[in-house]
Structure 1
Amino acid sequence: MHILFWVDKFPLLSETFIRDQIISVVAHNHKVTIHTKNRKINTSELNALTGFEKYNLQDKVVPIDVLFPRKKWKRILRFSQIILQNIFSKNLKYYVKTLDVKSFNAEAKSLQLFFKTHFLLKNKVEIIHAHFGPNGQDATVFKKIGLPIKLFTTFHGYDIRLAEKKGGEIYTDLFAFADGIFSISNYNTTSLLHFGAPKNKILPLSNGVDVSFFKRETPLIKTDKIKILTVARLVAEKDLSVAIHAVSKAIEKYPNIEYHIIGEGEARNTLQNKIDALGLSSQIKLLGAKNSTQVRDAMVSSHLFLLSSKAEALPTVLLEAQAAGLVVLATNVGSVKDMVKSGVVVQSENTAAFTTGLLSLLDKQSDWLASSALGSTYITENYSITKQANTLLEYYKK
């Protein structure tokens, strides 16, 4: 099969679940194209994908410029050539439909729809798999012109929150034209049904984890330092000030704590000021963005993992943390309670509850080894990328 993955940007270090899914499809010998909205490939992040060079992901990325000549005269010339080449082709009817200004407005006027359709036809794309609802909604245009393709869309987190804010009608076309809508969690399934998605189109498919990549080589053991880790974007919805406060209180009882936060975002200065005000800059450190290998190395050398979010669906980072044998403290948002088997889940947006949860884990260090093994086994059995890839490919075929 030839599958086109439709994403905003590729790659993003915060979206390893998309990269791993694409790699799993490539590993099954299917042809893959990655369509991005941004006009430049993020080569700096591609270069950071240590260990994934053999998949040649950079050669599979097609920015919008490749599909759509920016200069008007080139656009018109290429348009004329394509029409002449297909004047007696069975595909001509699709090309003609892309010019329907009444139905497709700006995309028809600018010939964007024409050139994207040509790319799909020329390369014999059979399946479009969009990640995030808005991309799936955009991709329905090809179903409207009648292209013989299947359209699947995976909903994650922000796209669910977007519909909660604006209303489920923003996905009306997607719900009508999609062949399948992947839900990564029970929370998302409930939300999608509420928004009006047809029940028979909703397909359960969690994000997968490369468990072999995150496997801890040595058991979780006590050391002279208690190493605590968070991997998250530094944004308001991650509520990291709660985690920082809880760690500051824990340090009063356990002064050998070392807390590292990997990630970047607009809240960095605010969080750093909080750390400085607590006088804990030597023990609580913001490390900035890291690549997958660096994140994995931090996980397998830490003891506890904290997720203090006030909004999530199914945070893949918790799957990765448990695969790496970490004991978890997380807030009860989205489907977190269903996925955490190694650790404690507490009420969100509650600093006192998060602090109590952290202290309870620190007071029971003798339980860490068993908890670590329980979590890693659960992820291997239920969320391995191999298992999820096999399920995905079966959905494609059906």
Structure 2
Amino acid sequence: MHILIIPSWYKTESNPTLGSFFREQAQALVRAGHKVTLLFPEISYDTKDIFNTKISIFDDEGVSTYTKKQYMIPKTGCFGFNVSFYKGINDLYNEAVKQVGTPDIIHAHSCLWAGYSAMKLSSKKNIPYLITEHFTKYSRGLIKSHEKPLIKKQIKYASKVIAVSEGLKNDLEEYSLGKEILVISNMVDVNKFALREQKSQNDKFKFLSVCYLMQKKGLDILLKAFAKSFKGYEDVELIIGGDGEEKDNLLRLTNELGISSQVKFLGALNRDEVIENMQSCNAFVLPSRFETFGVVFIEALACGKPIIATKTGGPDGIVNKGNGFLVEVEDIEGLSIAMKKIIDNISCYDAELIRTDCIKRFSEKAVITQFEQVYKDILGKK
């Protein structure tokens, strides 16, 4: 079948890793034998893009990808963003149809903002659409009052609605008006994220955390917990990959806690660098304040690493007694204890079993098979 994918966020020149899981899922659908087209308008506030009609077209490992800069009038809020995003989608769609034909189904990732464009395009072209929701805004109470009716409308007219975790499904029920919400997890490329033979046991024990350095990721909690348990321990270190608005604050906190010699900030990482660090660490930890799923957790599991996460709804369905610990949000003491337990019991974690369980639940085959069934159900009903 021909699947049209519309992501709410996607890679740009300034942020080449953004939306990487949308891209990898699209490529997985191609490998499963489907024709896949992806459209993404990058919203711009630069007046030089007011009359920009340039469309970039490229083949991304089998995915026919169409992107463009789309101007938005500043300070027009939700309405302006929706109108601009849809205008960009409409332009890209018209060009794509000329070259690759009409899709059978539209798959939007997140109501804000792709869901609106999918709904409009579906109505205009009589093509069914579904929405997979990923956004943390629901659990964080950040959905604005004027956005709620629009989200309810998108869900009402969608053929199917999917959440990436049980926690997010529960958050979405307020908007579903009784409509069934399915749960299909994000996936991990288990061929790239794979086991690697560990080096000598004389090496330092390495905790790894990878994320955008934002307040909601809880890295301040991680630094405090690490200092509480391991300050001055020369054989334990914390590696942090990523960049973002909290970087300076985190560097300052690291100095204040007196753990600068034990903490390494790697900056933004590309996919190969993420894989390298996942494979070389001993355990992965990310104490997010909000998390609808957490792709980095299943990437670590695919590499056979035990993980520590917080009870935010998303990771709750990932962590089990055989692969790590769940701790309460903002719990410095609990996180500190969990990190100690990981080190004390590291020999009890079986990398092969951790990876096997991950493959069973989150591999490309496991996830894409579920999506294929949803697509068939929708098109059968059509």
TM range (shorter): 0.7 to 0.9
2:353 matched to 1:365? Answer: no
Q: C-alpha displacement at 1:293, in angstroms?
A: 1.1
2:169 matched to 1:189? Answer: yes
2:139 matched to 1:158? Answer: no
Tell me the TM-score normalized by structure 2.
0.81
Q: Secondary structure at the match of 1:305?
A: strand
Q: Secondary structure at the match of 1:211?
A: coil
* Corresponding residue number in structure 1 for 2:313: 334
* Corresponding residue number in structure 2 for 1:218: 197
Q: Which amino acid is the alignment partner of residue 333 of structure 1?
A: T
Q: How do residues 221-300 of structure 1 correspond to structure 2 at under 5 angstroms?
A: 222-252=201-231, 254-300=233-279
* Corresponding residue number in structure 1 for 2:39: 35
* Corresponding residue number in structure 2 for 1:46: none
* Corresponding residue number in structure 1 for 2:20: 16
- CA distance in 1 between counterparts of 2:205 and 2:29 reads 39
Contact 1:229 1:299 in 2 (8 A): yes
C-alpha deviations, 1:101-126, integer Å up to 9, x for none?
A: xxx9x959x97686466346543122
Q: Which amino acid is the alignment partner of residue 341 of structure 2?
A: S
- CA distance in 1 between counterparts of 2:279 and 2:5 reads 31
Q: How do residues 309-388 of structure 1 correspond to structure 2 at under 5 angstroms?
A: 309-341=288-320, 342-368=323-349, 370=350, 372-388=351-367
- CA distance in 2 between counterparts of 1:212 and 1:114 reads 36
Q: Secondary structure at the match of 2:119?
A: helix
Contact 1:187 1:335 in 2 (8 A): yes
Q: Which amino acid is the alignment partner of residue 342 of structure 2?
A: L
Aligned Cα RMSD in Å? 2.9
Gap change, CA 1:340 and 1:139, over 3 Å in 2:
same
Contact 1:150 1:179 in 2 (8 A): yes
C-alpha deviations, 1:46-95, integer Å up to 9, x for none?
A: xxxxxxxx973597321245xx8x9xxxxxxxxxxxxxxxxxxxxxxxxx
Tell me the TM-score normalized by structure 1.
0.78
* Corresponding residue number in structure 2 for 1:75: none
Find 1:126's aligned residue among 91, 96, 104: 104
Q: Which amino acid is the alignment partner of residue 222 of structure 2?
A: A
Q: Which amino acid is the alignment partner of residue 152 of structure 1?
A: L
Contact 1:185 1:204 in 2 (8 A): yes
- Aligned-pair identity in percent equals 26
Structure number having the greater helix percentage: 1
Q: Secondary structure at the match of 1:379?
A: helix
Contact 2:167 2:312 in 1 (8 A): no
Q: Which has the larger radius of gyration?
A: 1
Q: C-alpha displacement at 1:358, in angstroms?
A: 1.2
- CA distance in 2 between counterparts of 1:117 and 1:34 reads 9
Gaps of 5+ in 1: 41-53, 71-103
Q: Which amino acid is the alignment partner of residue 232 of structure 1?
A: C
- CA distance in 2 between counterparts of 1:119 and 1:180 reads 27
- CA distance in 1 between counterparts of 2:143 and 2:6 reads 23
Gap change, CA 1:242 and 1:162, over 3 Å in 2:
closer
Q: Which amino acid is the alignment partner of residue 13 of structure 1?
A: T
Q: C-alpha displacement at 1:30, in angstroms?
A: 2.2
- CA distance in 1 between counterparts of 2:231 and 2:254 reads 15
- CA distance in 1 between counterparts of 2:281 and 2:222 reads 16
Q: C-alpha displacement at 1:325, in angstroms?
A: 1.1
Q: Which amino acid is the alignment partner of residue 329 of structure 1?
A: I
Q: Which amino acid is the alignment partner of residue 359 of structure 1?
A: K
Contact 2:205 2:235 in 1 (8 A): yes
* Corresponding residue number in structure 2 for 1:175: 155
Q: Secondary structure at the match of 1:290?
A: coil
Q: Which amino acid is the alignment partner of residue 27 of structure 1?
A: R
Q: C-alpha displacement at 1:361, in angstroms?
A: 1.8
- CA distance in 1 between counterparts of 2:240 and 2:166 reads 28
